[in-house]
Amino acid sequence: MSNILVTGGAGYIGSHACKALKAAGYTPVTYDNLSTGWEDAAKFGPFEQGDLTDRDRLDQIFAAYQPTAILHFAALSQVGESMRDPGMYWHNNVSGSLTLFQAAVAAGCLNVVFSSTCATYGDQDNVVLDENSAQHPINAYGASKRAIEDMLRDFQNAYGLNHVIFRYFNVAGADPDAEVGEFHQPETHLIPLILDAIDGKRDALTIFGTDYDTQDGTCIRDYVHVMDLVDAHILGLKWLEDSKGCDVFNLGTGTGFSVREVMQQAQAVTGKDVPFIEGPRRPGDCTKLVSGSDRAEADLGWTPKRSTLEHMIGDAWRWHQTGHYVK
């Protein structure tokens, strides 16, 4: 059984990945500073608290567990926050990744699956994106992830650091068993905020902008079920085991939904109205981010199976009602 180092394994996507890794016969070793993650979520293998920028601690972890690969999820990931405090994003995401990759190379751990984002593409008026689309991020979060992609390419050329880059579209939903789920503090993501508004945990959802150039004036996103997303990571690991090298894959469904469409579906799934108000645009938001997943399908054999809005909101609602990491 090989050990896989999972940075950010106590976070939303990382914890689902740890569950999937365990089910696939790997041992996930979570490395997380708990700045946004939850120790309760790191329950599928060993947990080590530590920061990405702490080289000594990383060296200890590589020596102790001898991981064969890294799933690198740990990052700050809020678009709005990144606009207010870009320094934090360059420090944590970019310096942190640099320290991690340097430690990995020194330890001879040369396989990385990296969580990048469609936010690296920026605003590209109503096109369906693919992996060759130009990357012009409009927020510091996207810029920090693009910089890490460049770093990986350089590290592959110079040190043989094999890697798979996944550019996520909007990840949503939860483990259908509700052992883990989405919970951020503060919460900024659309679906959990809608569910909070539905069950009275907040007064109302604010729609950020109703004057976008879309059919109903609200932003369009391509939502992917977190379980489908983590399936792609297992396939990415196997791809690295079989064929050393590097590649980049978009993980989206090719179908976009507006904020109002997501609200309508949440109403249909829960049978309850979504209290909402209409507010101004949120700085850093793109009008539309949608992608196909042809390359991931062709090269990794990945197809999203659960990424309908109904399925994602249904699983998120079950999690919302049964468990939370609130302390």
Q: 60 or 255, CB closer to ligand UFG?
A: 255
Q: Which range of residues in 96-104, 114-122, 178-186, 224-232 is near ligand UFG by CB under 6 A?
A: 114-122
CB of 285 to ligand UFG, least distance (A): 5
**Of the residues 259, 266, 312, 313, which one makes contact with ligand UFG according to CB under 6 A:** 259
Report the phi/psi class of residue 51: left, alpha or beta, with left for phi > 0 and alpha for psi in -120 to 50.
beta
Name residue 164's beta-bridge partners.
113, 247
| 312 makes contact with ligand UFG (CB under 6 A) | no
Residue 141, judged by CB atoms within 10 A of its CB (0-12, 13-18, 19+), counts as buried
**Of the residues 3, 111, 115, 117, which one makes contact with ligand UFG according to CB under 6 A:** 117
Residues 11-40 within binding reach of ligand UFG (CB under 6 A):
none
CB of 173 to ligand UFG, least distance (A): 12
Q: Which residue is nearest to ligand UFG (CB)?
A: 219
| 202 makes contact with ligand UFG (CB under 6 A) | no
DSSP string, 244-277: -SEEEEEE--S--EEHHHHHHHHHHHHSS---EE
Return the beta strands (E) in the chain as ranges. Answer: 3-7, 27-32, 47-49, 69-72, 111-117, 162-168, 170-172, 205-208, 220-221, 223-225, 246-251, 257-258, 276-279, 288-289
CB of 206 to ligand UFG, least distance (A): 5
Interface size with ligand UFG, residues (CB under 6 A): 20
Q: 113 or 240, CB closer to ligand UFG?
A: 113
Q: 147 or 207, CB closer to ligand UFG?
A: 207
193 contacts 187 by C-beta, under 8 angstroms: yes
Q: In this structure, what DSSP letter does residue 287 have?
A: S
| Closest by Cα among 312, 326, 309, 321 to 178 | 321
Distance CA 61, CA 48 (A): 8
Opening angle at CA 303, ends 297 and 307, nearest 5: 140
Residues 209-228 within binding reach of ligand UFG (CB under 6 A):
219, 221
Name residue 4's beta-bridge partners.
28, 69
Residues 154-173 within binding reach of ligand UFG (CB under 6 A):
170
Q: Is position 31 annotated as part of the catalytic site? A: no
**Of the residues 4, 79, 129, 226, which one makes contact with ligand UFG according to CB under 6 A:** 79
In this structure, the number of other CB atoms found within 10 A of the CB of residue 64 comes to 12
In this structure, the number of other CB atoms found within 10 A of the CB of residue 46 comes to 15
Q: 5 or 193, CB closer to ligand UFG?
A: 193
CB of 220 to ligand UFG, least distance (A): 8
Q: 221 or 320, CB closer to ligand UFG?
A: 221
**Of the residues 115, 285, 288, 296, which one makes contact with ligand UFG according to CB under 6 A:** 285
Q: Which range of residues in 36-44, 201-209, 224-232, 239-247 is near ligand UFG by CB under 6 A?
A: 201-209
CB of 221 to ligand UFG, least distance (A): 5
Name residue 15's beta-bridge partners.
none
Q: 309-322 and 259-270 helices cross at what angle (nearest 10)?
A: 60
Q: DSSP 3-state assignment of 44? A: coil
Amino acid letter for position 150: D
Residues with a known catalytic role: 141
Q: Which residues bind ligand UFG (CB under 6 A)?
A: 77, 79, 117-119, 170, 188-190, 193, 205-208, 219, 221, 259, 282, 285, 289
